[in-house]
Chains A and B, each alone.
Chain A
Amino acid sequence: MNFFLLAIFGVIGGVLGGMGMGGGTLLIPLLTIFLSINQKLAQGYNLISFLIMASFALIIHSKNKMIDIKSVVLLDAFGVAFCILGALLVSQIKSDILHILFAIFLILLSLYQFYKFFRKDY
């Protein structure tokens, strides 16, 4: 394992993640492509790293009055059940298949970004 690359990738993913711009969507493929970490592991590393990073990022954002907590309460109430379901499903599925599904998700996400960009929603 190349620890230097690992740390570089972590910082890159962290910067984007701290801005709420999809740190994980970048970090996960960096780990799988360049460090040959399997998809499931990469997803788990991302989740846990995010937790620690977000604890700090949220302090900064809430000091800057950037968080509207009442917007998320209901979304989260429903989300928690489904994230547990999703996470349990991961153990039932092959890493290779998960890798392909993740790739499709990335492509769809990027197409949406382009669509937004050309509609000048930014």
Chain B
Amino acid sequence: MKHQKKANKFGRLLVDAVFGSIIGFINGFLGGGGGMIAVPILEKIKKLDNKKAHATAIAMIFPLTIASSFVYTLTIDFDWTTLAILATSVTVGGIIGSLMLKKLSGKVVRIIFAFLMLGTGVYMLVV
């Protein structure tokens, strides 16, 4: 029994290590999208319900994004006007989105979004 408990603990640590590393790498290398992978992992492995998983994904990505942003700021020349406009508008949108999450039935939104991603991905490859 005790042995099995230990094995389980090690297994969980391994799972966290693998998925944490993948999500981290995507966050730094592709500059976004880590949260999209975090949501199903939080649902399946951490057994969070769907809405909690979405909110918690943001919390998970936050420290990773601090580290990634720091490296980007050192290596890339930003246009600060563009950044200021984007940061402001994203924040306004984000506040609306987070107030909506509690009341939302996400099914329709997500399937529309899946089509959008597929179309965009193909477009980016072809054009």
Contacts and interface: CB of A to CB of B under 8 A. Distances in A.
Interface of A: 1, 3, 6-29, 32-33, 37, 40-54, 56-58, 60-61, 64, 66-69, 71-72, 74-91, 98-107, 109-114, 116-117, 122
Interface in B58-116: 58-69, 71-73, 75-76, 78-79, 81-83, 85-102, 104, 106-107, 109-111, 113-116
Nearest to A8: B89
A106 B25 contact: no
A80 B63 contact: yes
Nearest to B37: A109
Given A24-B32, A66-B101, A79-B21, A44 B63 contact: no
Contacts of B95: 14, 18, 53, 56-57, 60
B90 A25 contact: no
Nearest to B83: A45
Contact of B97 (A19, A113, A114): A19
B28 A85 contact: yes
Given A9-B86, A18-B97, A21-B36, 19 more contacts: A6-B85, A10-B86, A18-B98, A20-B54, A26-B113, A29-B124, A40-B72, A56-B91, A57-B97, A66-B51, A68-B56, A72-B42, A74-B16, A74-B20, A86-B28, A106-B118, A109-B36, A112-B40, A117-B110
B120 interface: yes
Contacts of B92: 10-11, 14
Contacts of B1: none
Interface of B: 13, 16-17, 19-42, 46, 48, 50-69, 71-73, 75-76, 78-79, 81-83, 85-102, 104, 106-107, 109-111, 113-118, 120-125, 127
Contacts of A44: 31, 69, 72-73, 76, 78
B117 A106 contact: yes
